[in-house]
Amino acid sequence: MFLRFIIAILLTGCTEHPKPDTRQKTYLIVGRDTGRGESPPLIYRVKVFDTWKIIAPRESIHDSTKPLCEFYLQEGSASIRITVHNFPVDSKDKRIPPQAQISRWKKQFEKLDHHAWQTKPVASAGFEGLYFEAEGILQGIDTKMIGWSMQLCSEHYQSLIATDFNGSNESRQRRADYTIKAVGPSALVDKYLHAIVQFANSFELIEEIPIHK
Amino acid sequence: MKLFKKLFTFFGGLYFAITLIIATALFVLAGTLIEAATESHLYASYFTYGNPLFILLIWGFFINILLSTLRRWPFKPRHIPFIITHIGLLMILGGTLLKSYKGIQGAMSIMEGGGNDEVILSDTYALLVEWKNPDHPWKISKAMIPLHDTMQVPNTDLTVQQIGYAPHCREEYQILVDGVLQPLEKLTTLYEHDNAFGGYTVEAFIPSQAEILKEQIMISDLKSQLSLSPPLEFFRQKCDHDLFPEIAVAFLKEWDETNQWLFPNRPSHSAEGALQSLDWNALPLQIKNGCVLASRLFQHIEDGLQAGISLHEILQHLNFPLNIPKEAPLDDQLNVLLGHLFYASQLIPECTQEGIYNGRLLSAYLRLYGIHWKSVEMDEELLRREYPLQMNLIPLAPSKKMEENNPYVCLKLTEPGHTEQIRLSYDRYGMGLKWPALNGKYRMRFQPIIVKIPYRLRLRQARQINYPDSTQAFSYESDITVTSHFIEPVETTLSMNRVFETLDGYRFYLANITPTEQGLTKRVQVVVNYDPSKYWLTYPGCCLLVLGTVLLLWFRKKKEN
């Protein structure tokens, strides 16, 4: 009895490491090509749930209006479409402010009440920007849109500039702003909101950003 | 042999054990009292737990327990619980000793998006020396040398000698302006030259009017003579090239001190030599006439204004034919009047400057271009220039709380043919500026020892979790990826009560997240603790100790039965 008690006490102190969510897999996202026939570099990685459908681009995505990739969450006839864009530019002052992206997204609604949208500042993986959530009428359907408009923070931007000796497309892509936008029927987006936020929070550059020491 | 036996008996005996226990109790007591008196854990640790004598005590316990066990030789079955208990104790003490020599206790700083595999060993002192590879200047070699009285930097001819030390100091940034050091209140801009081997410069505005004006004249690209305004260029031609800014500033200052709109009709104390040689006939007739007309007319105007008469009344009295706006400030009215005079001066025959001093004529010419002492105040932003940055270290009385002290060292650097002295303050986080030495051949920083560990932590996101509907922090979390050569990448979340531990004894704790504001990229401090013997000495030792104690009780019970 006494031995059992001692063993029980010894085992009480044991901890278990959190196990990674096996329902997710890491998906690597290619950047934009230069339009000169070169193969685009792998830039981002993100955790995607197994049940999500992934559509990678089959043609050139040099044009920044085309998404880097699309993800679909299908449930019956309804679906949520998640698109990832990035916007490589040559200098910091040419970047599009997150607020401007959000203004553009708001205009995509046919009807959007003033109280039906909100933004909040967010930061993740070295990027800073805004989270956007809105509910309105889009193509005649009650739709919810959630999005992230992110820019690399100044310190990281400078670090990447300082280590880009050749002016490579890869480095330019890594410095680019990115947006993640999820659009779908309100009820469905609400249902999968946590999963979409988890997806957006897992988005990061594949290569670590060098830190100036 | 007798002595050996005596020593064996003493060191394995009860008296030695009691001595050790009393000494340890005194150490603990002293540590508690010191910490209570100074509120400094570091101070207490320095004199007690972190003191080499305390390690000696642990060695004493180890020897005592080892010898007391060996004294039971030859072992009998009834000794088994006793031996197991003592082996357990020896393993725990061995683990403690091994940790004190080979363990790591430090912190690492990681920024979201970045990673780190270097641990700062807090409250250790080292000198970081970096130098450029002579064949490949873009390759930087470095050496981190624990601070000693004399240090030889490996792979170089550099010898560093510590010639001074202050336990606490205040850092003050200074800028070098014309060879004179001036304090800099705030470091707002910083330019690194040649990767800091060439030092640093800062943008600063020199708050001295003489300096401002001199700067303005220099900004006018004096040397290239491209954009210096005509009156200054006219003046410059009669001055010594290098002395011109000084003379021009002295003249403008003297003029300003007279409180006259134009320089009074008298010789200048500061610039008469240069003024006397001005050749007015070299100027276009319109300018010469304008200067003469203005000098004469403004004599009446200045006298009238001093007598309290308005400009319009004076001009009416003088039958001045042109209109001057009444509503404008007096200074603007005078400028308009001056403009009219210079315009009209092209229509009249040549005037003679007889009876007018050159200083007054020049002041009219300068006024035409809006140049006077006070005009320069408006261009503060344009006058910001880069100045070399230096750090001044002011020794202060050390605080009892050692954690608050910021020491500095004075070092003598010697290389064949070169010697230099440099003062460096302690950079607690090893993230600050590296200072150039020996004409930019080296850059240095006085900082804690930094060690590389076999694990790299990459931070994706750090966040503060608040209580619902409040800004009060409930918890802090950070998502990290741990990579290493010998394990698959592990993704985990560190939080206040969740640490990450590796099988070879590394533990990672989340200590701090800054800044706390949403939407800004976070930097986290992760405390790293490495105990190399935890899993094969300390923990098994604890188990043996428990087992031995249980068996001791069981044997005794059996014996009683």
The model's confidence at residue B469, banded by pLDDT at 50, 70 and 90, is: confident
Q: Is the pTM of this model over 0.80?
A: no
Q: Minimal CA–CA distance to B448: which of B171, B53, B101, B104?
A: B104
Nearest-Cα distance to chain B for A92, in Å, is 17
DSSP A83-109: EEEEE--SSGGGSPPHHHHHHHHHHT-
**What pLDDT shows up at residue B550?**
94
Pull the structure tokens for residue B491.
């993704």
Residues from chain B that touch A201, judged by Cβ atoms under 8 A, are: 460-461, 479
pLDDT tens profile B183-205:
887 777 888 898 899 999 998 76
Q: How many CB atoms lie within 10 A of CB B515?
A: 12
Q: Minimal CA–CA distance to B214: which of B246, B168, B262, B191?
A: B246
Pull the structure tokens for residue B69.
């066990």
**What pLDDT shows up at residue B463?**
92
Looking at every residue in chain B, the average pLDDT score rounds to 88
Residue environment code for B266-279, b if the CB has 16+ CB neighbours within 10 A, otherwise e: eebebbeebbeebe
**What pLDDT shows up at residue B382?**
52
Residues from chain B that touch A129, judged by Cβ atoms under 8 A, are: 519
Cβ A124–B520 below 8 Å, yes or no?
A: no
Compare CB distances from A125 to B112, B500, B550 and report the shortest one's residue: B112
CA distance B429 to B128: 13
The number of C-alpha atoms within 13 Å of B41 and in the hemisphere containing its C-beta is 2
B430 reaches A (C-beta below 8 A):
yes
Given a cut of 60, whether residue B515 has pLDDT beyond it is yes
Q: Minimal CA–CA distance to B282: which of B377, B353, B342?
A: B353
- Contact at 8 Å (CB) between B538 and A141? no
Cβ B113–A156 below 8 Å, yes or no?
A: yes
Given a cut of 90, whether residue B381 has pLDDT beyond it is no
Show the CA angle centred on residue A203, arms to residues A197 and A205, nearest 5°.
Answer: 165
Residues from chain A that touch B430, judged by Cβ atoms under 8 A, are: 213
DSSP B241-304: TTTHHHHHHHHHHHHHHTT-SS--SS--TTTHHHHHT--GGGS-HHHHHHHHHHHHHHHHHHHH
B531 reaches A (C-beta below 8 A):
no
Dihedral sign for Cα atoms in the order B485, B488, B489, B491 = negative
Can you tell me which residue has the tokens 């009249």? B348
CB under 8 Å to B340, separation ≥6 — which residues? B322, B324
**What pLDDT shows up at residue B305?**
87
Pull the structure tokens for residue A91.
């200098």
**What pLDDT shows up at residue B422?**
94
The model's confidence at residue B378, banded by pLDDT at 50, 70 and 90, is: very low
Backbone angles phi, psi at A60, to 5 degrees: -60, 135
Can you tell me which residue has the tokens 């990061």? A204
**What pLDDT shows up at residue A213?**
65
Residues from chain A that touch B522, judged by Cβ atoms under 8 A, are: 123
Q: Minimal CA–CA distance to B245: which of B278, B210, B279?
A: B210
The number of C-alpha atoms within 13 Å of A135 and in the hemisphere containing its C-beta is 9
Compare CB distances from B113 to A2, A120, A209 and report the shortest one's residue: A209
Beta bridge partners, A82, equal: A71, A182
CA distance B134 to B140: 10
Compare CB distances from A211 to B114, B479, B490 and report the shortest one's residue: B114
Percent of chain B with pLDDT over 90: 51
**What pLDDT shows up at residue A5?**
66
CA distance B35 to B30: 8
Interface mutation target, options A4, A132, A212, A213, chain B, most CBs of B under 10 Å? A213
Q: What pairing do the DSSP bridges indicate for beta strands A69-75 and B115-132?
A: unpaired
pLDDT tens profile B86-130:
999 999 999 999 999 999 999 999 999 999 999 999 889 999 999
Cβ B111–A211 below 8 Å, yes or no?
A: yes
pLDDT tens profile B234-277:
888 888 767 787 788 888 889 988 988 999 999 998 888 889 88
Q: Which amino acid is at B407?
A: P
pLDDT tens profile B2-44:
888 899 999 999 999 999 999 999 999 999 999 898 888 888 8
Can you tell me which residue has the tokens 């020794």? B395
**What pLDDT shows up at residue B384?**
66
The model's confidence at residue B308, banded by pLDDT at 50, 70 and 90, is: confident
B142 reaches A (C-beta below 8 A):
no
CA distance A19 to A25: 14
Q: By a Cβ cutoff of 8 Å, what residues of chain A touch chain B?
A: 2-3, 6, 10, 17-18, 20, 120-130, 152-153, 155-156, 201-202, 204-205, 208-211, 213
Backbone angles phi, psi at B143, to 5 degrees: -140, 135
Pull the structure tokens for residue A101.
């992206």
Compare CB distances from A123 to B430, B521, B543 and report the shortest one's residue: B521
pLDDT tens profile B56-83:
999 999 999 999 999 988 999 889 999 9
Pull the structure tokens for residue A2.
């006494």
**What pLDDT shows up at residue B221?**
44
- Contact at 8 Å (CB) between B143 and B445? no
Which residues of chain A, if any, have pLDDT below 50?
A: 18, 20
Pull the structure tokens for residue A133.
């959530």
**What pLDDT shows up at residue A13?**
55
